[in-house]
Structure 1
Amino acid sequence: MFLRNCWYVAGWSAEFARNLSARTILGDNIVIYRKVDGKAVALEDACPHRKLPLSDGNLRGDTVECGYHGLTFDCSGSCVAAPTQPDSIPKRAKVQHYPLVDRYRLLWIWMGDPEKADPDLILNIANFDNPDWGTTDGGAMDIACNYLWVCDNLLDPSHVAWVHVSSFAGAGTEDEPLKVARHDTGVLVHRWIMNTEPSPYYAPLVKFDGPCDRLQHYEMVYPGIGINKSIYTPAGTGGDCAAPVEGTYINISYNFMTPVDENHTNYFWFQHRNTDGDNQEISERMNAGAKMAFEEDRAVLVKVHEGMKAMETPSLDLGLDAGAKLFRRGMDKLIEAEGKNVAAS
């Protein structure tokens, strides 16, 4: 059902401190906490004795004590104390541990084989530390739908013409032809919309007057990272092979889907722009606008999930679904290959 040998966002780094925080990711119940030195730890959230959640227990230094009979586990998941039988710690008393990495203000978790957890596989975010680029605080949202419906939505530039009328919509978003490409790490759907007015969301942000050429870049990276890039450049200067000119405005929305289970998704995001690096007022305004748009998406996607689970007549695909279908096929192949590797080992 899910790809496991990859990195997912467990949450914003600032959410996790010196306390036991329960999470469910890919159907696994996990407890996350920080050690005395600040490094994050993730363990299976179930004591092996009677499966009481360890998150209901106590943090003792860098170890977790079960709140039922005091079995205590270190950062690797090994039992290091059994108060009711101190001279005979059960050999099978251990819990799974999950590798974690703090990066880009996010806490990333590896859900598969810990031996394969390479931090270099985390998505590279160019210019993240560039002071000339502005960054929004971002946000988080729980969506009562399967994560693939969110991925479909983030590979569909056309929906903005109906769902985001007051924000991301604009001339050409309903009928301009789309280009679809599959690559090793995911799928890209994009189009240039030429010689139009900026969309309502971006009109106050672009650095030039008059009509624009506008790029809609909707990319999904396996297992569920959406990269939505908007480029605005003066009319006549845009296009696939065009180099940026003075005044070109770039905003990149990074969207991270973490499946809770087959019916729920944790959605995290932030935006990154090539202007106004220290302008907090712009960052706050953009963040509020993005949250409003994502709430509009959530309202639709929850109903889509419910409708597709309970459908009484077959659904159909439109041409605009080409990118989503490619992404789903790619995910299916990766999950199938991972399952075969696990079976072979």
Structure 2
Amino acid sequence: MFLRNAWYAAAWDSEVKQDLHATVLLGESIVLYRKLDGSVVALEDACPHRKLPLSMGRLHGDVVECGYHGLTFDGAGSCVKAACVSRIPQVAKVRSYPVEERYGLVWLWMGEAALADPGKLLEIAEWDDPNWGINRGDSMTIDCNYLYMTDNLLDPSHVAWVHQSTFGTSACESEPLQTVVNDNGVVVSRWLYDIDVAPFYQQYLKFEGRCDRLQYYEVRYPAHAIIKGVHTPAGFGGDDAPAHPQAFLMDSYNFMTPVDEHRTRYYWFQLRNFDADDENVSRQFAADVRRAFEEDRVILAAVHAGMNNRQSANIDLAIDAGPLRFRRGMEQLIRAEQNGAANLINTLEVKAHA
């Protein structure tokens, strides 16, 4: 169901304080908190004694105390205090997850801790570039499986119908799509030439009249999307065209974290090449993006419910090529990961009986 040897966004950094923050990732209950030095701890949210969530306990400095019988755990998940025992049992421990903070988000590695590599986090070259403005982002929980969201974010055509008041125009209905499969994910893109500007973008462009527009939708494994929006004056677009001084550039970064099979936590922020220091533009842009993504939320929840309760087989269309290639890639990665774990277990069992 899920690829575990990967980084997932678990919370905004502002959500994690020196108190206990409960969350769920990939069906696993986790408690987050900050130590006195500011670093973030992520632990399995279950005391090993009777599985009371540790998030129902108390934080004392850098350690968390279970609210049932007082077993106390440090940031590595080791039990450092147990009442009424002469010696702390070796099995009194909870899982600790590798943590990284980047781009205003707290990231957890959900697989084997020894494989956690910060270098595998997405690189965003413009993040610290003073010429680029940042919309600090938002998040929401969507009642759908995360793969319906990756389907959506590899589908430029849906904006013509779902986002008629925001991202879409009639020009988005039928222009052919280009699909490229990479080692780390899938890209679906197309240029639209000499078209009307969609409602969302009209207030932000620095030129008048019709435009050429690039729709660039990329999703990387396990579920990280980069949506590039490019608008130039009509006649100046194209992959080989020189950069236009009035071109609108927006890079939208979208991170889908499965809560479980039926729910996904969605985090996002945007970088833009205009009005870098204008907080009013940032606030308006963020509000407009939120409104557009609420349109997706309604559709995706209904799609999930419809697919779970379908009375007849669903069909695929040509526009589904990118989403289907991404799903196949995920299946292969998950299968390889599971086979690797199974091989390791078999090896350990053989050694144990040798």
- Specify if TM > 0.5: yes
Q: Give secondary structure in 2 for the equivalent of 1:261.
A: coil
Match of 1:310 in 2: 309
Describe the superposition over 1:134-166 as per-residue Cα deviations: whole angstroms up to 9, x where unpaired.
111211101111010011011111111111101
1:7-22 alignment, distance < 5 Å:
7-22=7-22
1:118 to partner: Cα distance:
0.8
Match of 1:67 in 2: 67
Distance in 1, Cα, partners of 2:202 & 2:190: 19
Distance in 1, Cα, partners of 2:314 & 2:170: 29
1:199 to partner: Cα distance:
1.1
1:292 to partner: Cα distance:
0.7
1:242 to partner: Cα distance:
2.1
Q: Give secondary structure in 2 for the equivalent of 1:136.
A: strand
Distance in 2, Cα, partners of 1:123 & 1:81: 39
Quick check: 1:122 aligned with 2:109? Answer: no
Match of 2:6 in 1: 6
Match of 2:322 in 1: 323
Match of 2:351 in 1: none
Describe the superposition over 1:44-65 as per-residue Cα deviations: whole angstroms up to 9, x where unpaired.
0000000000000111111111
1:203 to partner: Cα distance:
1.4
1:241 to partner: Cα distance:
2.0
Quick check: 1:84 aligned with 2:115? Answer: no
Distance in 2, Cα, partners of 1:198 & 1:216: 13
Match of 1:264 in 2: 263
RMSD of the TM alignment (CA)? Answer: 0.9
Residue identity over aligned pairs, in percent, reads 53
Distance in 2, Cα, partners of 1:194 & 1:54: 56
Distance in 1, Cα, partners of 2:267 & 2:246: 29
1:8-157 alignment, distance < 5 Å:
8-85=8-85, 87-157=86-156
Distance in 2, Cα, partners of 1:323 & 1:163: 19
Quick check: 1:177 aligned with 2:195? Answer: no
Equivalent pair of 1:69/1:84 in contact (CA under 8 Å)? no
Quick check: 1:202 aligned with 2:201? Answer: yes
Q: Give secondary structure in 1 for the equivalent of 2:259.
A: strand
Amino acid at match of 2:250: N
Describe the superposition over 1:86-116 as per-residue Cα deviations: whole angstroms up to 9, x where unpaired.
x310110011000111100011110001111
Distance in 1, Cα, partners of 2:330 & 2:232: 34
Distance in 1, Cα, partners of 2:170 & 2:230: 15
Distance in 2, Cα, partners of 1:318 & 1:281: 41
Amino acid at match of 1:288: A
Q: Give secondary structure in 2 for the equivalent of 1:50.
A: coil
Equivalent pair of 1:47/1:66 in contact (CA under 8 Å)? yes
Distance in 2, Cα, partners of 1:220 & 1:84: 52
Match of 2:331 in 1: 332
1:37 to partner: Cα distance:
0.5
Distance in 1, Cα, partners of 2:240 & 2:89: 64
Distance in 1, Cα, partners of 2:48 & 2:29: 13
Equivalent pair of 1:218/1:229 in contact (CA under 8 Å)? yes
Distance in 1, Cα, partners of 2:292 & 2:84: 54
1:243 to partner: Cα distance:
2.8
Gaps spanning 5+ residues in structure 2: where?
Answer: 345-354
Runs (4+) of structure 1 moved beyond 6 Å? none
Q: Give secondary structure in 1 for the equivalent of 2:159.
A: helix
1:340 to partner: Cα distance:
1.1
Q: Give secondary structure in 2 for the equivalent of 1:294.
A: helix
Q: Give secondary structure in 1 for the equivalent of 2:136.
A: coil
Distance in 2, Cα, partners of 1:114 & 1:242: 45
Distance in 1, Cα, partners of 2:169 & 2:279: 26
Q: Give secondary structure in 2 for the equivalent of 1:237.
A: coil
Q: Give secondary structure in 1 for the equivalent of 2:236.
A: coil
1:210 to partner: Cα distance:
2.2
Describe the superposition over 1:191-241 as per-residue Cα deviations: whole angstroms up to 9, x where unpaired.
000011221111111122222110000110110011111001122221122
1:171 to partner: Cα distance:
3.9
Amino acid at match of 1:62: D
TM-score, with structure 1 as normaliser:
0.98
Distance in 1, Cα, partners of 2:242 & 2:87: 69
Distance in 2, Cα, partners of 1:177 & 1:160: 14
Quick check: 1:240 aligned with 2:234? Answer: no
Distance in 1, Cα, partners of 2:329 & 2:242: 31
Distance in 2, Cα, partners of 1:141 & 1:150: 12
Gaps spanning 5+ residues in structure 1: where?
Answer: none
TM-score, with structure 2 as normaliser:
0.96
Distance in 2, Cα, partners of 1:111 & 1:214: 38
